[in-house]
Structure 1
Amino acid sequence: MPVSTLHEADVLREQDPEVAEILMGELRRQSASLQLIAAENFTSRAVLTALGSPLANKYAEGYPGARHHGGCEIVDMAERLAVERACALFGSRHANVQAHSGSSAVLAAYAALLRPGDTVLALGLPYGGHLTHGSPANFSGRWFDFVGYGVDAETGLIDHEQVRHLARNRRPKAIVCGSISYPRHIDYAFFREVADEVGAYLIADAAHPIGLVAGGAAPNPVPYADIVCATTHKVLRGPRGGMILCGAELAGRVDRAVFPFTQGGAQMHTIAAKAVAFGEAATPAFATYAHQVVANARTLAGHLAEEGLAVTTGGTDTHLITADVAPLGADGRTARGRLAAAGIVLDCCALPHGDGRGLRLGTAAVTTQGMGEPEMERIAKLLAAVVRGHPEPAGARAEVHELTGAFPPYPG
């Protein structure tokens, strides 16, 4: 049971049984269904313990040694430790671990480097760009002039020639590389070359691959980008939150962009949990895990293709897969609904150069549970059968329960 202590769980049940039942209901849901959302994972018990610690009580606006509140001597130690571990893990000169989310980290990066009206080049939203990469519903699209690059219609890979052409013609103040649904490694050296050619800052939004980077299973953007924005959950297995990595020359600008420009008090319990996650990610066991995540994703993508799904880019280098389910006689939203009824939880996403929506799924959470390539084949066959409408939801859910029962997220 993933709570700090049995006593604390008993206290919650006694004081607020309604909330206690909600928490236990969510644990049951996570344990009894296949968690294939690419942006989700299971944290360790140690991370959960830090999140539920007395550090949640402390107000700590500012930075270690320069807080706006008294009594921060202990929480300063937690933040310094998180910063030290993040810098060591990713080879960065500076880390800001206060960002509340990946979007908050991107907002701070823009605030550090840009002014309203500046031109920014980023992957277009139809091709996997994030909301913070220029959506008109987001601050990014309202405050900055975003120009979107795309992917090749045949291969699904980023169109590097288009990137260079747009950069030369639009002379952006910053170039953003990163995506929420691009399953291949980003060529950071190429983007650095283009940014230098046009005098632009390079911002790497590594929210998805940063955990693979930590485990040595994906290229590290830190040597190439001026600023790297990331989340601390997903493959990294930390608490929900963000971080920013940069060189020493931008450290002050980044820190001021986080506090006081875009955020107030730091969430010290979350920062302590980030420190725990960074420590875990520095171990050989995590490196083994990260490589298994990729191996599982490649295996799953291959079997999905054998089942008739059209896997974009023909496979994956990372933890995530995007696929068109139209060959199975369904659209993305219909497929997601059928799969949810069977206990298979994943997302829809836009399909590059397509009119409909496909599926986006990832292997981080199921790998955390201990599943390997044999289970990926089984999942692929079950997923395709459910999308086709066979077996019935009850039968499919029974198979899901059998599989998840053998691989509980929190054994014992």
Structure 2
Amino acid sequence: MEGLYATDRPRGLEDNLKSKILFSGRRRLSHDITAIYRQWSEALGADDLSMRLLSGLHAHATIFMGLGRVGETVFLLPEKAGGHFATAGILERLGYRVVELPIDLERHRVDMERAKRLVDGSDGGILFIDRSEGLVYEDFGPLTENPALYCVHDASQYLPAILTGRYRSPFAMGFDLLISTLHKSFPGPQKALVATRTRDERWERVKRVMSQFVSSHHVRSTYLAGLGLEDMGRLERYTDRFLENAVALEQALADLGIDVVRRAADAPPTQHLWIRFDSAEAAYEACRRLELCRIHSNYRLLPYGLGYGLRLGTTAATLQGLRPTHVPRLAQLLGDILSGGFTLSRRHAVRELASAMADSDDLRCPSPPSPVLFGGVP
């Protein structure tokens, strides 16, 4: 399926005749894509969706080319509150007026009262919550009550917990459009989805723009996205476990005296952890020490004015077999490496832990009984 062009919607004779170019032999693919879209729409509680796009930023640039108009205001989650560092630049380049939401630096979240006053006083525009960093899952429902606003939520970091009901859906919060990648928290292919709560005029504009500016649908990735929903029990176990692992690891690191940022207890936890350092140089050295011992982390400027540090996430490790019973050993290894640096014995200890995790792994995909997908088409 690599490189095949296929439409993501079945077309009638009139549409086919009007097409500037049409590839034969794709009807079965279009049928299956429609079935996968329906499957995902039902799982998300969406009225319609598309998987034409490849990544989150690809989705941001493409969608906002059709969603609004030049000069329109976008109320945006700022980078300092965990918003993506590239989003404001994309929106400004497209001609939008960007207004950042106020934040509460001490509580590490949006200042909801001030933000609500800001958006409720608007006579129109777009609300865009693009959260790529956060220790808790915030409810932005109070910000969507102004009927003059069109509300967009990027759920890339939270998709499994939304699908399994562990987090409140952005649609239940009042958002009109949901964006998500399928290769971050969701264990799927390189792909992005865009889902709408209601098929309205804005959604039709978004679909037209995606059709105009995205030529290939990347069919193989869409099939893989469909297979990703086939075992909801596995997805639930994965979701519960990576959240348990994150909370347990945070506590274990704190018990060792490591400067891990503690999350608030009054909101659902995420899979992320932040470790603070005195300087960018110290944070980078810590990242390199862990990398040499085969523990991968993100060196980055942390939000909320916390300075440079490390971000750890538990999704990939959970797929490799990490359980809460492994967390004390992992925390001890992290502490030893951060304080003492790389040694060959520490690298071997990490490898031994990874082997123990793999031996207890019950999340790996089972082998398919036969090479048959969707409707009997091999």
Q: TM-score, normalised by structure 1?
A: 0.77
The question of whether the paired residues in 1 share the 8 Å contact of 2:8 and 2:34 is answered with no
Structure 1: how far apart are the matches of 2:124 and 2:312? 32
Where 1:92 maps in the other structure, the secondary structure is: coil
Structure 2: how far apart are the matches of 1:124 and 1:164? 15
Structure 2: how far apart are the matches of 1:355 and 1:269? 41
Distance 1:311 1:104, change over 3 A: same
What is the match of residue 285 of structure 2?
Answer: 334
Indicate the RMSD between aligned Cα atoms, in angstroms: 2.5
What is the match of residue 290 of structure 1?
Answer: 239
Q: Deviations over 1:362-404 (max 9, x none)?
A: 111111222211212222222122222x153322211110011
Structure 2: how far apart are the matches of 1:318 and 1:59? 37
Which structure has more relative contact order (CA 8 Å, sep 6+)? It is: 1
Determine which of 299, 304, 313 is the counterpart of 1:362: 313
Q: Relative to structure 2, which stretch is displaced further, 248-257 or 265-274? A: 248-257
* Structure 1 residue runs without a partner (length 5+): 1-54
Summarize the alignment of residues 201-280 of structure 1 with structure 2, pairs less than 5 Å apart: 201-223=150-172, 224-246=174-196, 247-249=198-200, 250-260=202-212, 262-280=213-231
* Structure 2 residue runs without a partner (length 5+): 17-21, 368-378
What is the match of residue 4 of structure 2?
Answer: 58
Distance 1:356 1:393, change over 3 A: farther
Tell me if 1:186 matches 2:135: no
What is the match of residue 254 of structure 2?
Answer: 305
The aligned amino acid for 2:155 is A
Q: Deviations over 1:187-210 (max 9, x none)?
A: 1322222x43xx211100111101
Where 1:311 maps in the other structure, the secondary structure is: coil
What is the match of residue 173 of structure 1?
Answer: 125
Distance 1:263 1:131, change over 3 A: farther
The question of whether the paired residues in 2 share the 8 Å contact of 1:101 and 1:240 is answered with yes
Runs of 4+ residues over 4 Å off in structure 1: 168-172, 409-412
Structure 1: how far apart are the matches of 2:120 and 2:330? 45
Summarize the alignment of residues 68-107 of structure 1 with structure 2, pairs less than 5 Å apart: 68-107=22-61
% same residue = 22
- Deviation of the 1:158 alpha carbon: 1.7
Structure 1: how far apart are the matches of 2:238 and 2:125? 38
Determine which of 88, 99, 104 is the counterpart of 1:147: 99
Q: Deviations over 1:88-140 (max 9, x none)?
A: 11111111111111222223332332123221111111221114530x3xx22
Where 2:71 maps in the other structure, the secondary structure is: coil
Determine which of 71, 81, 93 is the counterpart of 1:117: 71
- Deviation of the 1:312 alpha carbon: 5.0
The question of whether the paired residues in 2 share the 8 Å contact of 1:157 and 1:313 is answered with no
Structure 1: how far apart are the matches of 2:123 and 2:79? 20
What is the match of residue 271 of structure 2?
Answer: 319
The aligned amino acid for 1:121 is F
Distance 1:313 1:216, change over 3 A: same
What is the match of residue 370 of structure 2?
Answer: none
Distance 1:271 1:163, change over 3 A: same
Structure 1: how far apart are the matches of 2:179 and 2:54? 12
The question of whether the paired residues in 1 share the 8 Å contact of 2:120 and 2:143 is answered with no
Aligned length, in residue pairs: 347
The question of whether the paired residues in 2 share the 8 Å contact of 1:181 and 1:349 is answered with no
